[in-house]
Chains A and B, each alone.
Chain A
Amino acid sequence: MLPKIQEAHGDAKFIFAGNERIVKIRHADITPLPYQNASSTIDVIVGYDKAGKAIIKSRTIIEEVHRFAHQASIIAMEEEFDVIHAHDWTSYLAGVAAKIASGKPLILHVHATSFDQAAGNNVDPAIYKIEKECFALADKVVAVSQFTKNIVVQKHFVPETKVEVVHNGCNIEEPKRLEPTLSELKRQGKKIVLYHGRITIQKGVDYFIRAAKRVVDVDPNVIFVVSGSGDMITQIIEMVGSMGLSKNVLFAGALWYEERDRMYQSVDLVVMPSVSEPFGLVPLEALQHGTPSIITKQSGVAEVLTHVLKVDFWDVDEMANQILSSLRYPVVRQQMVNEGKQQMQGMSWRQAATKMLAVYRNLVQYVTQ
């Protein structure tokens, strides 16, 4: 998952293979989001007319990706550096272009694949083509989980030895406690279960709603909060209506920063029902705020986090059973938080960075000057 805003301007110091370098960062006007179809369009300011009005041009994301690659090759020829590290499909071509221009080793970092986005085999062929061809040209492919490595090996035919797994890390500082939200519901003795994430087919929100139905049939005192937005939102709202769940499912919109943290802290349980989740930071964020999670086995984070409940995304009955059981027996939630927090201490970003550095070192030692 990319941060919502990437801000890096001017010069920045980076250490490559032990040598400190100043790197000039050129600001890009637009960051294409990787979680879109190749043919979707974005509006880009290409210049300003005499009156100072922006000239806006609509380009497809794939055009934008090619333009980005062209820019990257120019930068690569001008700048001094040792490794190229490109993240997700929208920057893979740029990475390859930089490699061709400079001859420097290329690492492609896979945070998600077209298979995750499609939640199945019905992938966007343009994106798949870029992924597959770029992986073939890369010196190393880094996957955020074994789960993702398996996809890259099986679906993109990348040799297993070329793929390294570097699990994502998480923030391990104790966050500040915020004024709780949904206090009226809590006062009424309701139990609250949260979904937080984009509302897309990949995220399995529909399975979450079906599990909610099963739960509410047994215990109408459980409230489900859906926080996020995405192309599936209308479908989900209709689904909630037709299942007669309007009283039990609340839509909170997309929550960020403090609002999101407040929500994490206020609910009793978080569910990450993803159909295909390369890593999945949600259960770790929830844990940091003292809330336990149910996650699907189809996620990368399931490989590193043991103090959660795990379920197959399609097993709605078991998902509902886990929701009801963990609400019923508070001791299990308490223990998952206590022990999970301890486990999180070993999952810092620093550790992920250390592993990444080792991958850099390994590549740089073979570079002939």
Chain B
Amino acid sequence: MLTVCPYFHVHQPYRIKKYKVFDIGNDSEYFNDDSETDLNNRRIVEKVANKSYRPTNKILKELLDNHPDFRFNLSFSGTVLDQFEAYTPDVLESFQELVATGRVEILADTYHHSLAFFYSLPEFKRQVQKHERRIKQLFEVKPRVFRNTELSYRNDLAKWCEDNGYVGIMAEGWEKYLGWRSPNYLYRPAGCKKIKVLLKNYKLSDDIAFRFGNKEWNDWPLNAETYADWIHSHHGDGETVNLFMDYESFGEHQWEDTGIFDFLRAMPEMVLRHPETSFKTATETIESYEATGEYDVPDVLTWADTDRDLTAWTGNDIQRDAIGAIYQMETEVMKTKNKNLIETWRKLQTSDHFYYMCTKWSNDGDVHSYFSPYQSPYDAYIAFMNALSDLQLRVSKEGTERDKKDAQKRVAKAVSKEKEPKKHSATVVLPESLGAISPIQPVKKKRWWQKVVDKIRSLEVPLIGK
């Protein structure tokens, strides 16, 4: 038996508009670009909905209807769900329909598509919990398998997942850690006892996600039959073929004219043609197979470019500066207990912001070789840092206001205790040290009948005795 475990990752960040120095202190909206550029979040979501989400979901629904054995997994960032809700609610509904079939599993994730695990464990936990609540609310399911932002993975993350009740976790199947072994089996993360790790078969995954439309590629044009043959060739040397990719590969990274939709439409049938081949969700895969060995990843592993590490997000000075600055604010931001500030802070943690600052590929002068809505990594950094500066300002303002209020409360309490006998007295003598702070005056609440009496009195008409 050989099963295929497809997993599509759905994500859109809140891109920061061209936020200038002059905006600091004057404009607290960082994500509301309304230009005709790729910084306009609504515009992007609507565009990708047309190019990818709507047509792909339609095909996926057909496939689920036509093939009872077809199954797959989805993961959503909270930021994309929020944007669907706001901009394209029909897309959200179509995802809900897919999940309602019971054959589409949703994976656990961080809400804000962040790298929080590597910077702040408490914040990471909060984001995972927030994500879980959101998934429950929208899809009425509880994720059991975890995947972290950009498929980033390390032994301690697997341990954390095990300790928090997840049955599985996803990771890149990378030779550096696999050695001669195949990614087509389940493994046990080093230091864990129960949890299993599903490894991405990056060759077969990237054939679809990256190479599909590339006319220079030897195997172009790829049809579903050939692809199914490649999968079937793993009979005998594997149990599960894990195809992990961005959902947006369908229609957005690979445009419709590459034939990607026809490929998707035909692929499950071709795979199922072989009698001993089927599809499984992540949890089913984990429940069906045993771990065959240990997967030991002491350093961060991701699914990004040839380095498979975090250097696309934290490889240069501006990236490290920016990501360092955001997590440095944690204590101050959390102290405010202001939902809006905390949410904004989290939106700034989305890994895409740091990806836009990457300079790894810019030395050959080709800045367009990677996807970024900014003209240069430096523009991305400046917009981010300016927005962050404004947030810092708001947080510290909130902090001083809170301190002020606390002081006022304390004073009011102290005063009311001191002046107990002279209740509701109009003048209050403050301790000199608190002279600058005026306490809230206790206002005597009028009873309803008193109001009526006052009203009558105010008429100044001698009603009686006329």
Quick check: is A310 within 8 A (CB to CB) of the other chain? Answer: yes
Chain B interface extent, by class: 20 to 34
Is A322 in contact with chain B by the CB < 8 A criterion? yes
The interface residues of chain B lying within 8 Å CB-to-CB of A329 are: 321, 381-382, 385
Q: State which residues 1-59 of B face A: CB under 8 Å.
A: 18, 20-22
B382 with A332: CB separation less than 8 A: yes
Q: How far is the CA of A96 from the CA of B227 in the complex (A)?
A: 62
Cβ contacts under 8 Å, A320 to chain B: 21-22
A183 close to B (CB within 8 Å): no
- Shortest CB–CB separation between residue A211 and chain B, in angstroms? 12
Contact, CB under 8 Å: A325 / B385: yes
Q: A318-B20, A339-B359 known; A332 and B378 CB under 8 Å?
A: yes
Residue pair A342, B363 in contact (C-beta under 8 Å) = yes
Tell me which residues across on chain A come within 8 A of B359, comparing CB atoms: 306-307, 335, 339
Q: Are A304 and B321 in contact, with the CB atoms below 8 A?
A: no
**Quick one: closest B residue to A324, CB to CB?**
B21
Are B316 and A339 closer than 8 Å at their CB atoms? Answer: yes
User: Is B344 interfacial (CB 8 A cutoff)?
Assistant: no
Check if A317 sits within 8 Å of B321, measured CB to CB. Answer: no
Contact B318 A331 (CB under 8 A): yes
**Quick one: given A331-B321, A334-B317, A339-B359, are A309 and B378 in contact (CB under 8 Å)?**
yes
Report Cα–Cα, A321/B21, bound state, in Å: 6
**Does A218 sit within 8 A of B, measured CB to CB?**
yes
Q: Is A267 an interface residue (CB 8 A)?
A: no
A280, B274: Cα distance in complex, Å: 64
A238 within 8 A of B: no
Of the residues A218, A303, A310, A332, contact of B21 by C-beta under 8 Å:
A218
Let me know if B376 and A309 touch, CB within 8 A.
Answer: yes
- Inter-chain contact A310/B381, CB cutoff 8 Å: no
A22 and B315 CA atoms in complex are apart in Å by: 52
Q: Counting CB contacts under 8 A, is B386 at the interface?
A: yes
A324 to B386, CA, bound (A): 10
* Chain B residues in 8 Å Cβ range of A310: 375-376
> Do most interface residues of chain B lie in helix, strand or loop, or is the interface mixed?
helix
Asked whether B376 lies within 8 Å of A343 as measured between CB atoms, the reply is no
A338 at the interface (CB under 8 A from B): yes
Q: Given the complex, which residues of B lie within 8 Å of A318, measured CB to CB? A: 18, 20
B360, chain A: closest CB distance, angstroms: 10
Residue A177 lies at the interface, judged by CB distance under 8 Å to chain B? no
A297 CB, min distance to chain B CBs, angstroms: 9
User: What is the CA–CA distance of A324 and B389 in the complex, to the nearest angstrom?
Assistant: 13
Q: How far is the CA of A324 from the CA of B22 in the complex (A)?
A: 9
CB distance from A261 to the nearest CB of B (A): 25
The interface residues of chain B lying within 8 Å CB-to-CB of A336 are 378
CB distance from A194 to the nearest CB of B (A): 19
Chain B residues positioned under 8 Å from A214 (CB to CB)? 22
Residues of A within 8 A of B385 (CB): 325, 328-329, 332
Beta-carbon contact of A331 and B22 below 8 Å: no
Query: Contacts A331-B317, A332-B378, A332-B382; is A306 near B367 (CB within 8 Å)?
Result: yes
Residues on B with beta carbons closer than 8 Å to the beta carbon of A328: 21, 385, 389
Asked whether B318 lies within 8 Å of A335 as measured between CB atoms, the reply is yes
Contact A309 B321 (CB under 8 A): no
Residues of B contacting A308 with CB < 8 Å? Answer: 378
Alpha-carbon distance between A99 and B183 when the two chains are bound, in angstroms: 68
**What's the least CB distance linking A316 to chain B, in Å?**
12
- Whether B362 is near chain A, meaning CB under 8 Å from some CB there, is yes
Pairs A-B, 8 closest by C-beta atoms? A321-B20, A324-B21, A331-B321, A325-B382, A306-B362, A335-B317, A329-B385, A331-B317
List 16 A–B pairs whose Cβ atoms lie within 8 Å, in order of A's numbering: A304-B365, A307-B378, A309-B378, A310-B375, A310-B376, A320-B21, A321-B382, A321-B386, A325-B21, A325-B385, A328-B385, A331-B318, A335-B316, A339-B363, A342-B363, A346-B363
Binding site for A on B (CB under 8 A): 18, 20-22, 316-318, 321, 359, 362-363, 365, 367, 375-376, 378-379, 381-382, 385-386, 389
| Residues on A facing B (Cβ under 8 Å) | 214, 218, 303-304, 306-310, 317-318, 320-322, 324-326, 328-329, 331-332, 334-336, 338-339, 342-343, 346
Identify 6 new A-B residue pairs, CB closer than 8 A, beyond the known A307-B362, A310-B376, A326-B382: A321-B382, A321-B386, A325-B20, A329-B385, A332-B378, A343-B363
